[in-house]
Each structure stands twice: as structure tokens, then as C-alpha cells.
Structure 1
Amino acid sequence: MRDILQDWKVNTGNTKGRLVLLSFRLAQKIRRAPKPIFWLGIPYLVFYRLLIEWVLCIELPWNTQVGPSLRLYHGMGLVVNDQTVIGRNVALRHNTTIGVKETLPFGTRAAPTIGDDVDIGAHVVILGPITVGSGARIGAGSVVVKDVPEGATVVGNPARVIHIATMPEATCA
């Protein structure tokens, strides 16, 4: 049950985000379940696609790798490719697309990898086999087609770095 509710607390006050992520985590559980349970869960997976994708307009495939504490703000128009890897404590806003730029040969990852603690603004497009480093911030309306360094703030079309936060140095004891 803890797996299914891992995003609940960070979406406090965000009923839609809670509903979407609760549904998403349950669909992930069913998809990974042993065959007898999976077959019994197919009606739920169909319901998930109908409710989340068609009614709420949020494409978050249940086989997408998503870390804990994902936050969805105004999720309408959100499209995430199923090859995308999203780290922990990431914030996604409405009308954002995270996907592939081109179809690559079988077995080649064509979608972005989003690090931990990343904040992605509204109307952002992130495309291709790129990495968005941990702690990065992507401004609203940005189009990201190149790697984003850790702690960077990027804006624009195409996105460019406007600031890099200094990461605290590890202390040796």
C-alpha cells in the first residue's frame, strides 16, 4: 500500500494530482503482478486509460519509470513517453511534453532521463535521449533538446542555461 500512496503527501491540496498518481501507481502494481492477478486487473488498466488519458488528458503510461514524490500541478495536457525515466521529487506542470525526437533502433533509449528534485514549468517540451540533471529548473515554455547540467536553470526556445546553482560540497569527517 505504501508504494501506491508514495505521492500522496507531496500532492496535499491537489485532488486531481492525488487521483492521477494513485491511479498510476495502482496500474503499475497491476502491470507488474503475476499473470493471474494481471489478467484480473485488465479491466482496471482499461479504466485507467479511459479516465486518466481520455477524460483528464494526461498521458502517463503505467510502464513509465517514475521515482517517489512526483508532483503534478494542473496536469491537463501532460504527455510523457513510456521510455522516459523520472527521478524522485519531480514537479510537472500542465501542457508539458516529455518524449522522443525520433524513433531509434530497437533497444536504444530515445526518451529523456529526468534527475531528482527537478522542477519543470508549464508548456515545456523535453525531447530526445537527453539527461536533465538533478536539481535543475526548466522555465515555462522552454524547449529542451540538449542535456541540462545539475542545478541549472534553463529557459527559452531552444533552452539555454541562465544560472547554475552551486551544489554544497560534501564534508569529510
Structure 2
Amino acid sequence: MIGPLQESTSWQAQAGEGYGLYDFEVDWPHQRIRCPQGHLSQRWAPFFDRHGTEKIEVRFPPKMCQACVAREHCTTGAKGRILKLLLQEAYQALEKRREEQHTPAFKEKYALRAGVEGTISQVVRQTRMRRAPLSWRAENASASCTDCGWDQCAADRYLSSCARSRKLFSP
């Protein structure tokens, strides 16, 4: 599947001027993180989140964060900055994908997907499939969309545009 990843939902990333998760440098072999100001994390502990996903919680010393000159861009908590990471393989895969989604090649592939989604949306609106009763959809779905599908809708659009152009340019 091709699509952009969700941007960070932290207030730091939303503000556009704070330090988001990807502004920190992760040192996987030594199990520590360096913040943008150069400070090292103090605690690295695995845990399971509420969905059962294994993650890593990283904490920075509260006193260090409270004395930091960039504190307002990083944390408002009295406990210091706390980061929650996915495991290394997943974290690095997401990081790679985030970098990849800003390349021209990715944008070109995504444009194709957007075109397909637009076509599907148009077919659903033209055939009024979303407003049709569930029983009608089950009986007629293949006849209205799948079997003759988008070709029929595309042909209808083409013929309609030809008819309009003849009206506009006929003597």
C-alpha cells in the first residue's frame, strides 16, 4: 500500500517549533538517546502499551530538563522529557519511510493512488451505492460496479462529454 505516514501528534511537532521524537538521536547499541541540546537520556525500559504493543520508554533526568535553555521547546512536565519508541526494527522502518515519502518518486506513486481513489469515489457517487439499501447492494453490487464497473462509468462520462461538445460546436 502506498500512502503517507501519519505525522507526529505530539504538541512539539504540532507547534512546528518544538522537538518531536525524530529530532532526537537514538543510539540503539548503547540504549540511550541524545536530545537536540546534546543531553543523554537516563532511563531505557521496555514496556507494553495499552494495545499490547511492545515499546521502549526513555526518560531524561528532570533536573537536567528543568535547567535546559530549550525546555519550552521540549517539555512542560516536571518529570523531564519522556519518549516512547517502537522496537528498533519498526522504528527504523518508519524513520526510513518518513524520509522516503518526501522524494519525487514517492510523490509520483502516490499521485497514481490518488487518481484511483478519485475514480472509486466517483463510481460510488454515480451509482449511489452508499445510499442503496444493504439488500440491494448485496444483490446488485457485482452488476452495477464490479462486472461492468468503471469502464461503464468512464464510457458514460466520455459519451456525455461528446454530446456536450456537439451541442456547443454544432452549426
TM range, smaller chain: under 0.3
**Which structure is higher in RCO with an 8 Å CA cutoff and minimum separation 6?**
2
Q: TM-score if structure 1 supplies the norm length?
A: 0.19
Q: Which has the higher helix share?
A: 2
Find the structure with the greater CA-based Rg: 2
